[in-house]
Amino acid sequence: MKTVQGKLKLGEIIPYFSLPSSRNEHISLWDFKQKKNLVIFFNHGITCSRCTSKLKELAPNYAKFVEHEAEILAVSFDIVEKLKTYAAEQKLPFHLLSDETGKTTREFTSTDAERNAPSPSFLITDRFGVLRHQEIASEARELLDADEILSWLLLIQLECPECSHL
């Protein structure tokens, strides 16, 4: 597995962003501040079969993420209209966010110059926006699976029991 060095530092608050969502709204990180842990999945987009496989892997586990007081945000360069169509077809329960310009992605992770797309990455933050884990790979299949992400979320909850209902 080829991993790439992260742009953000563990233990620091991640930068703010606001992007259009597949769910007919703009999503801001402030929407989740002090409410939800975040799992942010930067990906190549809906034309990448490995990335869509990862999205489909996360979808049936969404209720478990919610139980762990987390929200999933999937970010790609795809235009929001395509994301809306794809999310509806696949019945994805979480937000697909459009970063058409790539500005947000470049702040958070590396880009795959060959594909002009984000390098597949997972960033996991606590409810205060502190980066707790990041993983960047050349292919989405090399990233954490749903159970491993849930383990990270459980660890966050155990380390801060006053921040959780668990």
Cα 36–Cα 132–Cα 150 angle in degrees, nearest 5: 60
pLDDT at 164: 52
Q: In this structure, is residue 12 part of a structural domain? A: no
Q: Which domain holds residue 155?
A: 18-160
pLDDT of 19 = 97
Q: Where do we find the tokens 């999937």?
A: 74
Identify whether 7 is part of a domain: no
Q: Give the number of residues written for the chain.
A: 166
Pairing of strands 117-118, 131-136: unpaired
Considering the domain boundaries, does residue 101 fall inside one?
Answer: yes
In a domain, 9, yes or no: no
Q: What is the pLDDT of residue 1?
A: 44
Q: Which pLDDT score, from 0 to 100, does residue 3 have?
A: 47
Please report, for the domain that includes residue 70, its CATH number. Answer: 3.40.30.10
Residue 166 lies in a domain: no
Question: Regarding beta strands 117-118 and 121-125, do their DSSP bridges make them parallel or antiparallel, or are they unpaired?
Answer: unpaired
With a cut of 50, list the residues of the chain below it in pLDDT. Answer: 1-3, 166
pTM of model > 0.85: yes
Is residue 3, in this structure, part of any structural domain at all? no
- Whole-number pLDDT of residue 50: 95
Identify the pLDDT of residue 157. 87
Q: What's the pLDDT at 158? A: 87
Q: Tell me what pLDDT residue 118 has.
A: 79
Q: How far is CA 115 from CA 21, 45, 68, 102, in A?
A: 22, 10, 34, 13
Q: What is the pLDDT of residue 64?
A: 96
* Domain total of the chain: 1
